[in-house]
């Protein structure tokens, strides 16, 4: 039963548009990784993302997040762009090209879950178990879940030096999601790292946020600075941003594994024509109403209008200053 159901789950996940699917046993995070998480928080490498301090106990043991969870189904959805912003225009991280991935991944995970009668399966497994309405839960960057850790436990890939999940012969441009289930399934084997001695991502990081085998320092990361940061943009950070006003893909662009990436064909992840046609002048004149229309159903809302315009202005001001110096 478990082997057949596990295979059927994976097949249906691929049918729904996920690139990969694996299954891990729900248990406490191993001591080494738990220690790294606690140390990362203690050292203040989370910048001012204080929400990362919350629910550490649940983050380190999914059984505290959902009662009775036994299996964690981990999925990956490809977001490698099929079209790109012209190179001479202001840039956005590739994951933000389409609609908000949180909604897309969770919707597909619910479809996956509702394909199977998990309530009936639970009762077959444990006929004397007290009835409980919660037989599954879905997550996508929306709860205290160590997504990359569970993706590695489910055999999808490994966590590279750039702290992204890398899938063999596919790269790292993937959204991750989880389906928590209260039934036992067949579990996949974790995969060892294949980064070897490569340090391309470290060399490509403009701020030194990534170090060899060290923790990511969010304080320095351009993705944090341009999205989560609610303060100002320093001149030093603006100089590192180049022409990217939302996020930063440089560690991914440098990763040799991403040469295997294939453009995604998910309709919801395709960029709007009006987004691709934006010019520097149009960005500078963007009104709040235009922003809302352009980024309706988009993850870019995370930075808010004020944050995006702050980023654009920082680059414009630096460009003006550099021209004056010359």
CB 152 within 8 A of CB 169: no
Round to whole Å and give the CA distance between 103 and 46: 25
Residue entry with tokens 């959805």: 77
Q: List Cβ neighbours of 256 (8 Å cut-off, separation of 6 or more).
A: 198, 200
* Active-site residue, from 48, 61, 141, 186: 141
Pairing type for strands 91-92 and 244-246 reads parallel
**Entry field: residues in the chain:** 326
Q: Is the dihedral of CA 196, 200, 203, 208 positive or negative?
A: negative
* Tokens encoding 79: 């977001």
Round to whole Å and give the CA distance between 184 and 176: 21
Taking alpha carbons only, the member of 187, 185, 186, 183 closest to residue 68 is 183
Answer yes or no: 57 catalytic.
no
CA dihedral (180, 183, 189, 192) in degrees, to 10, reads: 20
- Strand runs (DSSP E) across 169-262, as ranges? 174-181, 244-246
Q: Is the dihedral of CA 275, 278, 283, 287 positive or negative?
A: negative
Round to whole Å and give the CA distance between 150 and 179: 11
Which residue numbers are catalytic? Answer: 141
């Amino acid at each position: 039963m478990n082997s057949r159901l596990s295979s059927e789950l994976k097949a249906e996940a691929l049918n729904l548009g996920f690139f990969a699917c694996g299954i891990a046993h729900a248990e406490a995070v191993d001591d080494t990784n738990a220690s790294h998480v606690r140390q990362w928080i203690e050292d203040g490498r989370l910048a001012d993302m204080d929400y990362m301090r919350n629910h550490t106990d649940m983050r380190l043991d999914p059984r505290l997040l959902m009662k009775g969870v036994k299996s964690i189904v981990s999925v990956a959805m490809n977001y490698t762009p099929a079209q790109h912003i012209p190179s001479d225009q202001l840039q956005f991280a590739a994951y933000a090209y389409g609609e908000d991935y949180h909604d897309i991944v969770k919707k597909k995970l619910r479809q996956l879950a509702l394909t199977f009668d998990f309530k009936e399966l639970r009762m077959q497994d444990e006929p004397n178990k007290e009835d409980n309405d919660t037989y599954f839960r879905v997550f996508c960057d929306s709860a205290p879940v160590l997504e990359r850790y569970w993706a590695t436990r489910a055999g999808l890939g490994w966590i590279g030096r750039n702290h992204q999940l890398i899938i063999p012969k596919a790269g790292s441009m993937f959204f991750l999601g989880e389906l928590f289930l209260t039934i036992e399934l067949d579990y996949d084997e974790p995969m060892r790292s294949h980064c070897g001695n490569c340090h391309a991502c470290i060399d490509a990081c403009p701020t030194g946020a990534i170090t060899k085998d060290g923790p990511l320092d969010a304080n320095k990361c351009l993705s944090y600075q341009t999205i989560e940061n609610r303060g100002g943009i320093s001149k030093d950070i603006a100089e590192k941003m180049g022409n990217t006003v939302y996020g930063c893909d440089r560690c991914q662009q440098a990763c040799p594994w991403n040469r295997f990436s294939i453009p995604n064909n998910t309709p919801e992840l395709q960029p709007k024509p009006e987004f691709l046609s934006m010019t520097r002048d149009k960005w500078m004149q963007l009104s709040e109403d235009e922003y809302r229309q352009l980024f309706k159903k988009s993850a870019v809302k995370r930075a808010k209008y004020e944050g995006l315009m702050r980023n654009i202005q920082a680059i414009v001001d630096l460009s003006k200053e550099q021209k004056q110096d010359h």
